Amino acid sequence: MIDSPRHNRRVTGHCRQGLAVVGVVTALLTLSPTLASIASAESMSAKLPAAVVIPNVDPVAMAASQALDQLRLDSTRFDRGRRLRATFVRLRRQVAELIADRLVLNADELEAAWADSDINHQTALIAALTQVGVPYKRFAMKPGVGFDCSGLTSFAWSQAGFNIPRNSTRQIRAADPRTFDTAQAGDLLRYPGHVMMWLGVGQAVIHSPRPRQFVEVKILNTRSMKRSTFGDPTE
């Protein structure tokens, strides 16, 4: 378990409000119109499986869902050596600003870290962010319903086309070791018994923490950060 840091003093009401609509949301776990059209494109379906969009739960999740939709549209152009479109950059910035406000971070630094990461890392990280506010559930990997810690990271990286082990220890052992200086946003960060994804700046992570809590973005305390190990699932 990870101790709650002093910096993460803003416990939002969005996640709590989300519990009231979980029953309804569960019945609506279908692809958004945009994602459905993307999933139908043969060039995208094999590489980037469609993510589940959970409406009206958390502003970060909602903004991340829009950004992920656009990233999927841009991915085929990106693969041909072209730049991602300004629309995605704007949506990515919106997500960064929401998280920066929540964690008291610099939005410019956060966005720059995401822009410096490769397309797979950006896809996995933004996919994880679409699940902010979803409850922790032991042994679960159900978008919009519940995740344990390795379930969230497995889901996120599956959206980038990577099938990683379904266990925190196995995940970090299978990943290529990284350090704070060499890691990218979206890389795994494992504290003993718990796995997270690094947001790319400082001690900021996204994870599914423990029972009766929710997928969240958070600032780790210094002790937890020093005991954590980075790993790149793409290598």
* Catalytic residue list: 149, 194, 207
Phi, psi of 219 (to 5 degrees): -100, 120
Where are the extended beta strands (E) located within 61-211? 141-142, 146-147, 176-178, 188-191, 194-198, 204-207
List Cβ<8 Å contacts ≥24 apart for 50-54: 51/127, 51/130, 51/143, 51/159, 52/130, 52/143, 52/144, 53/130, 54/25, 54/29, 54/130, 54/131, 54/133, 54/134, 54/143, 54/144
